[in-house]
Chain A
């Protein structure tokens, strides 16, 4: 085709414009493209629980998100987060799912750990389930009663918070320190009049007590957080592994948000817990991979409580920002960092 100069120039200009427009679109889409990791899987160990707070880890495992990120996650299961964190501290695991209370106590003990993400928050996961037959009808009736709890956990802090909210002090009750797995039997055996615990045991005990039981929630007094914790040296030495782990959890977060029923099925299969129970408590939890102010405030609140009640030898407030690792999450999801100090 014979073209005049002006025709050639015009076509070139239009072609350039089209290419530029396509490149703009391409750039936009490439920004959203998933990063794929090739090569052999990296073996890591994650200590987590069968609690609903660990849902994202269960889903990431079941959906193969860790594998997608090049991680071969070995599960080290625990009944509660405090034990999981201990596995990390004991270098038996690389990551642990744990509530803020064990984190707080371990920081106060001087453990070099990092919280790398908060994966769950709830104001309704902790409660006190009590026996009516011992005369407990309201929180005020707890005065003088035997109340089972797990020291060093959210159970411990929630119990204190609920008592405070009702004008009571720990001195006005009979606290009974028990392991989480001992609480159900203790209350059923009437060894205690009430227990401070979390789900699933909370709902299970309530179901077992039936009409004999009552639950005292207080969503306005306490917000629980469940987090991913790791040893500081591990985090600093394996930044890419941390990012991959977090990226897999973020995928799980998206999946859970869009497929709650399937997520509940996964949890039921993973924990051998009845799906009805899982479904019943499902709305109590908010599954978001973030690092926000809630964690920091709660850690500081609990630290004040621990110091005040002489649960620790320390008398000063640690700088928790030194124990919260922002970089990894910030690198892969900057919008998830909502910490303003």
Chain B
């Protein structure tokens, strides 16, 4: 089976996922173009992380279809499909008793890299993360920001076509956040496609080419920040006001 929209790198059709009968993701549709920075914006519990988990293959009981470069995509079943994806979790999913280089070696090796290719990939990621000088130090000696950068580098070590970032700036100081944004813009400029979830409006507005606003497991609006403002009838407002208008002002956690 192939996608109707052959141009999209990732196309998600009618994706649904329920936890004990409660729909966390309610038949959502979206597509991401190659090289695009696509954001899923929504309050806590909107279904952003569940969507990321379905796309990354962490969850398998979802309904709906996914296509990658026009071809059927089932990362939960086909391990080879995961090779196209890099995931950067919200937690610092790195090993503190290893050095940055050893962390990258481990994750690169598990993605099938070896020898000179692996060393080149490690050197490149260390450079992007600004960790070349500290590459041989144990991660437990790093600052929080350095760990965040390494966390990102580990998700990029195999040069995936699509990078999934699940709220990567939660609890991160402004300097580290800024460095992360610059790194993301750099990898986007190199052609990598990014799917980014956040509940910070300014991040979405600053980084994303297009934004899907999630609410109650559904995507209730999709487009660029400017398009969303116009479509919501608030053409001169910022994304936060648009978001509040679309999702309501009551507390959203369910």
Whether both chains belong to one complex is answered with no
Listed in ascending order, the chain B residues whose CB lies under 8 Å from chain A are none
